[in-house]
Amino acid sequence: MSKPGSPRHIDNLLREAVELQQNGALAEAESAYREILALRPRHFDALQLLGALALQSKRYEEGIALLSRALDIDARQAPVHSNLAFALNAIGRHDAALAAANRALALKSGFVDALNNRGVALASLNRPDEALASFDKALAAKPDFPEAWSNRSGVLRDLGLPEEALASCDKALALRPNYAEAWSNRANALSDLNRPLEARESYERALAIQATFADAWNNLGLTFVDMNRHADALACYERALALAPDSAETHWNRALCLLQMGELAGGFAEYEWRWQRKRIAPSRRAFDVPLWLGDAPLDGQTILLHAEQGLGDTLQFCRYAALVAKQGARVVLEVQPELTRLLSGLAGVDKLVAAGDPLPPFDYHCPLLSLPLALGTVVPTIPADTPYLFADPRASAQWRSRIEAAAPGAVKKVGLVWAGGHRPHVPELRKNDARRSLSVERFAPILETPGVQFFSLQKGEKAERQLSELRERHEASRHVIDWTAELTDFADTAALVENLDLVVSVDTSTAHLAGAMNKPVWILNRLDTCWRWMLEREESPWYPSARLFRQPSLGDWDSVIEDIRQALTAFASTQASTEHR
């Protein structure tokens, strides 16, 4: 029998601990490792193996501390650096994880575990091309590496390659059929491909394997939204939050779902979680004055209301400036430079500032999309008095003369917007942009409506090129007037829109502009609608002049185009019949 504390005793304890760990007896293995460390606090193997055990138990901070102690003793061990990279990735310290993975690779070139962990870090740091190269290098050396195949799928989605992402998941699942994360990643790719029924099946496979998989519950909720089953989506978010109460992504998705369902009070309260999201958190403003959420009197105080997110959001929520001013506040409104001329006369605003310009002193601040929460907005109290934005009369008169010369007679004048902004650098927004946008080719049946003169409101070189290409093969499109090159900001666009009878638009900022001007606007609305348009509505409580044409199923724009074509024919014939009386 070896003496306690002797090298032989320590070696026996270590062998016993390793065997216990390999057999899944983690508690017993941990006791053995700790017994060794009580005798030899700087025992390298006990430290690094106990660190690995902590990672198995998802005690990442503890694992990082143990692995770091081991590396203080011997920094030449590539596997320990790689395990440290894994743990750092798990707690979101991706810069440090990348450094640890690189140290492992410097010690052991081509080390596949380190290449995989390096890929995870690079993907999380929004460096998808480098991440893909790292995963591919790992898989070239070890093709039977399911984790790398599964992780690779996420990068392929980020690169806008969902079909390849799906194939990568299938490789992972061929190697490990009960791999919950790969099933969930497979479902994510199917969701990108607008195949919600198949996505649901894959999420449910993941959850059958691992019922505590919070991300899968959250993403299953998103798939139920794609299936127009919002109550089921909420139930999934509740399951996810029971497992991960501080998940900002799940709170965000729950907020959007509640808002879609018209439950504005709860939805806007949850919407405050946006500031915890990885994508939005960096844009949170830090001021040395309090955030105002309706919890303090404003009489005699100056408050800064500041734009956030997109131009359409600013156009929709700048209406709240007047309500804040009614509380006795002096309102400073900070907006994007493209909107300053248009908003220069907005009711309730004492001082308008372009983003980036110096701000005057103020006592409180509030982001624009927090104002519905601060003011207790519910559907019946939405401030929908329109118009609240107006075109410059002189500019409007100039456009009127020009339009009358270009389109004389009794025709309806209709503006068209067929695509929203394109933000390929943000995967989440890229997916929404693709779902809300069409090509001008899809508008071709609308363009054949008699009694209508169409005007393009779609700005950009890409739009001009698309329209030019359509004109080469589609006769009706040759009559579309395109003066968008002369529109330098939203004040110019407003002056043109003022002279139109109707705007037909996808869900983008021009639709908000028309609605805020009380101009008739028909909005092409995807099935997984933006929350502001709510569910099962043909009208909008935010914009009385808006009419919504919603997809009957995900991706079905043909039905929407046909409905608009018929409505536009009726709209134009009303004008014609009026003229002939």
CATH number assigned to the domain comprising residue 359: 3.40.50
359 and 459 together in one domain:
no
Q: Is residue 209 part of a domain?
A: no
Quote the domain boundaries for residue 511.
Answer: 393-579
Asked if residue 9 has pLDDT above 90, the reply is no
pTM score of the predicted model: 0.89
Q: Are residues 377 and 405 in the same domain?
A: no
Model pLDDT, residue 52: 85
Q: Is residue 264 part of a domain?
A: no
* End-to-end Cα distance, the chain: 114
CATH of the domain at 562: 3.40.50.2000
Residues 493 and 353 grouped into a single domain: no
In order, the DSSP letters of 210-231 are: -TT-HHHHHHHHHHHHHTT-HH
Judge if 437 and 564 occupy the same domain.
yes
- What are the pLDDT digits (tens) for 435-472? 889 999 999 999 999 999 999 999 888 888 888 888 88
In a domain, 397, yes or no: yes
Give the confidence band of 99 by pLDDT, cuts at 50, 70, 90: very high
Pick from 381, 411, 435: which residue ends a domain?
Answer: 381
Number of domains forming the structure of the chain: 2
pLDDT tens digits for range 106-144: 999 999 999 999 999 999 999 999 999 999 999 999 999
Nearest to 459 by CA among 432, 488, 495: 488
Q: Is residue 191 domain-resident?
A: no
DSSP string, 163-174: HHHHHHHHHHHH
Q: In the prediction, which pLDDT does 428 show?
A: 67
How many angstroms separate the Cα of 205 from the Cα of each of 183, 202, 218, 225?
7, 5, 14, 19
Whole-number pLDDT of residue 115: 98
Residue 547: inside a domain, yes or no?
yes
DSSP track, 321-355: HHHHHTTTPEEEEEE-GGGTTGGGG-TT-SEEEET
**Mean pLDDT throughout 40-53?**
81
C-beta of residue 55 within 8 angstroms of C-beta of residue 63: yes
Residue 10 has pLDDT above 80, yes or no: no
Kindly report the three-state secondary structure assignment for every residue of 106-143. Answer: HHCCCCHHHHHHHHHHHHHCCCHHHHHHHHHHHHHHCC
Residues 370 and 453 in one domain: no
The reply to whether 368 and 470 lie within a common domain is no
- In this prediction, residues 64-77 reach a mean pLDDT of 91
The per-residue pLDDT of the chain, averaged, comes to: 92
The pLDDT of residue 50: 78
Q: Would 146 be classed as within a structural domain?
A: no
Q: State how far the alpha carbon of 95 is from the alpha carbons of 48, 110, 122, 138, 401, in Å.
A: 22, 20, 8, 20, 59
Does a structural domain hold residue 345?
Answer: yes
Q: Are residues 375 and 404 in the same domain?
A: no
Domain assignment present for residue 506? The answer is: yes
Q: Is the pLDDT score of 577 beyond 50?
A: no
Average pLDDT in the 265-278 region? Answer: 96
Q: Per-residue confidence at 552, pLDDT binned at 50, 70, 90? A: very high
Residue 560 and residue 529 share a domain:
yes
Domain check: are 492 and 518 in the same one? yes
User: 526 and 425 in one domain?
Assistant: yes
Residue that terminates a domain, selected from 381, 407, 422: 381
Domain end marker among 328, 359, 381: 381
| Rounded distance between C-alpha atoms, residue 441 and residue 557, angstroms | 12
| Residue length of the chain | 581
Same domain? For 424 and 367 the reply is no
Task: Select the more confidently predicted residue: 375 or 34.
Answer: 375
Residue 569 burial (10 A CB sphere; 0-12, 13-18, 19+): middle
Question: Are 303 and 422 in a shared domain?
Answer: no
Q: Is 181 exposed, middle or buried (0-12, 13-18, 19+ CB in 10 A)?
A: buried
Please tell me the distance from the alpha carbon of residue 436 to that of residue 194, in angstroms, as a whole number. 13
Q: What is the mean pLDDT of residues 386-409?
A: 94
Compute the C-alpha angle 308/493/573, nearest 5°: 120
**Residue 269: pLDDT band with limits 50, 70, 90:** very high
CA 366/CA 292 separation, integer angstroms: 6
Position 460 scores a pLDDT of: 83
